[in-house]
Chains A and B, each alone.
Chain A
């Protein structure tokens, strides 16, 4: 996932004559830049343009709306629960998969990828079917007055499901590449399993782990489909930032949806910069 990209342009065009090569080279770069500009940069800039079209005052006013503040808080709470859980799970799963041999390992690997291949809306629906009034556990939950659907627990579960593989998928290739020898060396020097993990395994994958956490966090905060199905869209209570953006947009507000969207866009930019930094770190320290 984070292996440095192979120099495709130079290697594939290497046998071609020099003039051809530079032309192809130039064309490829131009196409790539043009595409990114039209499909990625332009829409992003447009979000900021629309949000600030009426000036800075309305922008701030839109963000200060109590329902929006509540959406920001809910988004942060969900991320604060999901990301650490998935980080712990991701480290444990990647450690097991990369360093030990056990039965059913390929099965576990493909199971972990399930959230990647399932549509988030379907993922949300799974939880409705499980915890809804007519669902498998619905009756029991109702009797015991536990509210899962249309409340924080359901949204957390849906988000965990969707962001499940990010950390593990990031760590598995790094841990595989490092092999078991550093850990074995620590064992021969008298370290216990826990000491080995804490002093050797974890520090040697720390940048990859941060990278996985950053990606996981971005997805947790930006998730729409699965959360939308289980949230119930109660303004001020179960709206996250993406849900809030949609609601404001459907209300034909000219500034507010874009203003809230800038928060998510800024999150994306920050994630991208952190990602670039961490990729650089991983490359230089491994």
Chain B
């Protein structure tokens, strides 16, 4: 089911929740609404569901405006962050609720519940009450309940926030699989960029009630439309520079600044992968000491301190780290292979500037 939001605004009292949102969701996509808390992403989900009504603008489903269509008629499945299971009902009754409301015959309800039990791996839990289930099981029951009446679109509010790390991983893969099997349009809200990158085919990035960028995970990472997106999606080193003698400088670092007047200030940003590190103190132009290494699975994040006290972050694979014989406390040398000139937070970024002949390696896993 294709969904379109045109210039949608919604305020709560004097607080603006979403401001002039434009968003198109093609049929069958798996989309993440990503942003910090309070950025309006949950409000957008509730607007689509009909749990909130917009003050201005239009919400369209398959081309028809649904602003005044009540929640019950929108045929959406909604999974709440707290799951909102009916706690006085068994798992069976929770899943069957929407079907009983729609007056399905008992036999058909039973068959549907059985199908979902298999899909959601809920065998043996049908007679339990919500308080007798684990977090992951509750989550699956909530999804089952939402899927039971055969919705056109599934909306999930922070679906993985309340379960522990291992189950979260399983649920993510499970959601991708279910999306593929059921060919549903799925929108989910998250504040976790890693989760959005892993699960979604497209990401909508929110900040302060506005859409900052819409794009594939690779697009928002490699071509962030502004500094907010760049900093929110993945780690970024950001430096404030001042132009002196044709170079933009910060402590010992300098970047070419052709045509800029002395005294002018500018900001630049570069991803950790753009910082190339060597244990050979004279391999690259700048010197630093490796302060701390963070293990992020396959990739490692390196924190380096320059002689001036400036801290920069780099990134490399475990294999490279071992091959180079790096360790915390070691002196290293480094170079910055590419960077972007940043302006103010929500203005478009400058194009990527390569400082060395090497092209930045393609985005690997881990950010």
Contact = CB atoms under 8 A, between A and B. Distances in A.
B51 interface: yes
Contact of A188 (B78, B82, B85, B102): B78
B87 A189 contact: no
A189 B149 contact: yes
A29 interface: no
B187 to A, nearest CB: 14
- Interface size on B, as a range, is 20 to 34
Interface stretch (A86-94, A190-198, A269-277): A190-198
A265 B277 CA distance: 85
A189 B98 contact: yes
A181 B80 contact: yes
Contact of A189 (B51, B82, B88, B101): B101
Contacts of B101: 186, 189-191, 195
Chain B CB within 10 Å — which of A179, A186, A190, A200 has the most? Answer: A190
A184 interface: yes
Contact of A182 (B51, B76, B78, B86): B86
A206 B148 CA distance: 27
B88 A203 contact: yes
B181 to A, nearest CB: 22
A189 B148 CA distance: 9
Given A181-B82, A192-B72, A186 B88 contact: no
A104 B78 CA distance: 32
Contact of B88 (A181, A191, A192, A204): A204
Contacts of A186: 86, 97, 101
A285 interface: yes
Contact of B80 (A184, A190, A199): A184
A188 B87 CA distance: 17
A14 to B, nearest CB: 29
B5 interface: no
A184 B88 contact: no
Contacts of B306: none
Interface in B51-78: 51, 71-72, 74, 76-78
Contacts of A181: 80, 82, 84
Contacts of B149: 189-190
B10 interface: no
Contact of B98 (A184, A190, A286): A190
Contacts of B204: none
Contacts of A203: 86, 88
B86 A191 contact: no
Contacts of B249: none
A13 interface: no
A188 B49 contact: yes
Interface in A228-286: 285-286
A116 to B, nearest CB: 30
A185 interface: yes
Nearest to B75: A190
A187 interface: yes
A190 B102 contact: yes
Nearest to B51: A184
A102 to B, nearest CB: 14
Interface in B23-58: 49, 51
Contact of B51 (A187, A190, A191, A285): A187
Nearest to A181: B84
Nearest to B71: A187
A188 B51 contact: yes
Contacts of B86: 182, 185-186, 199-200, 203-204
B146 interface: yes
Interface in A106-143: none
A188 B76 contact: yes
A204 B130 CA distance: 13
Nearest to A195: B101
Contacts of A188: 49, 51, 71-72, 74, 76-78, 146
B138 interface: no
A206 B76 CA distance: 29
B301 interface: no
B87 A185 contact: no
A191 B72 contact: yes
Contacts of A179: 82
A194 to B, nearest CB: 11
A178 B97 CA distance: 19
Chain B CB within 10 Å — which of A188, A195, A200, A203 has the most? Answer: A188
Given A187-B51, A188-B78, A192-B72, A182 B145 contact: no
27 contacts: A181-B80, A181-B82, A181-B84, A182-B84, A182-B86, A184-B71, A184-B80, A185-B86, A185-B145, A186-B86, A187-B51, A187-B72, A188-B49, A189-B97, A190-B72, A190-B101, A190-B149, A191-B97, A191-B101, A192-B72, A195-B101, A199-B97, A203-B86, A204-B86, A204-B87, A206-B88, A285-B88
Given A181-B84, A182-B85, 7 more contacts: A184-B51, A184-B71, A184-B78, A188-B49, A188-B72, A188-B76, A203-B86
